[in-house]
Structure formats: structure tokens, C-alpha cells
Amino acid sequence: MKPIDPKIVHRLFYPSVPVVLCASYGERRSAMPVVSYASLSEEPALVGLSCFRGSSTLKTALRARCFALCILDRKYSSSVEFLGTHTGKRMKDKISASGLTPVKAKKIACYVIKESSAVVECLYMRKIKTGDHFLLVGKVAEVYASEDFDDYWRFKSYKPILYTGMKGGFSLYGT
């Protein structure tokens, strides 16, 4: 086997299913895809995601003290690509700028994406400095999904994005 630069170790984990982290504060509606996420605990239900410290969505989530994770079908890949390749630092409504539709979350003060196949609404719990990223930990407040989820995904209507990296553009596994 050949040696690999430790900085790109995350690429060995691809293909990964990105989720879109959404957060809102005042008039700002931020969103960015993340692949570095995990469910951390079942009882209480906790999720964690690793966010680059300079990302504007992380800043919005920290101000709002809540955030949501939106899972999108692969037909929205170009919007997810937009969210992952443009910073919302100077955008009030990055969700609309990506071609997606912002709608109010059910339990938290946050705009989520109407086109989502599933939404996980979270209350901010803590942040842990992990190198040049922050591990953002949230307590799950509300979860909802399309009919395709029957305790497990059936993949009849929901087709996940399988992200393989940005070499030569946003690429998907199996396309």
C-alpha cells in the first residue's frame, strides 16, 4: 500500500452521504453540507458534527443556540454543491440562493429546507475544539422523515447523495 497525506484521511471514508446543516439568526438563513457527522447517543438522542471554525453556518448556529440537519435526495445535488462551494458570509438567505425553499422548523427557531427527505431539529448542547474544527454537539428536539422511512430507509423514493469529493467538480458515486 502507498502512504497517504494524513490531512486527507477523511477522503478514505467516501462515498459519504452529506447532510445540510441549517441555522438561522435574525434575517440570516445559513446552510452548509457536512459529511463529518455522527449520532453520538440514543438516550438522550445526541448528534455531533465537525465544522470548520471559519464557516458562517457554524457562527449562525452558535448565535442561535439551535440548528437542524436536512437530508436531501440526490435530485438536489446541484443545490448541495452550491451550499458547499459558496460561503454565506455575505448572503442573508443562502437556502433560497441555492434554489431550495426555506420553511420554519417545527420546534426550534430555525429555517429548514422544504425539499428535505428528513429533518433533525437540534438544540445546541456544547462545542469542543478539535484542531481547526469545532465538534458541535446537539440534543435532538424533533425528527421527521418522508414515508420512504419505515424504521429504516426503503430507498423507493429517497435516493441518497453519495459524495466522492470535489476533484474535477462535485462528484457522486455511481454516476
Residues that bind ligand FMN (CB under 6 A): 18, 30, 32-36, 50-52, 55-57, 84-89, 94, 133, 163
Shortest Å distance, C-beta 106 to ligand FMN: 23
Query: Please, which residue, 33 or 160, has the CB nearer to ligand FMN?
Result: 33
Q: How far apart are CA 62 and CA 130, in angstroms?
A: 16
The residue at minimum Cβ distance from ligand FMN is 84
Shortest Å distance, C-beta 49 to ligand FMN: 7
Beta bridge partners of 150: 152
* Other C-beta atoms lying within 10 Å of the C-beta of residue 14: 13
Shortest Å distance, C-beta 43 to ligand FMN: 25
Shortest Å distance, C-beta 111 to ligand FMN: 14
| 18 CA to centre of own chain | 6
CA-only gyration radius of the chain, Å? 16
**Phi, psi at residue 6, to the nearest 5°?**
-55, -25
Query: Please, which residue, 63 or 86, has the CB nearer to ligand FMN?
Result: 86
Query: Please, which residue, 11 or 139, has the CB nearer to ligand FMN?
Result: 11
Query: Please, which residue, 89 or 126, has the CB nearer to ligand FMN?
Result: 89
Residues 6+ apart with CB under 8 A from 6: none
Shortest Å distance, C-beta 82 to ligand FMN: 9
Which CA distances in Å does 139 have to 11, 84, 94, 95, 118?
28, 24, 24, 23, 17
Q: Which of 142, 26, 61 is nearest to 49 (CA)?
A: 61
Query: Please, which residue, 106 or 162, has the CB nearer to ligand FMN?
Result: 162
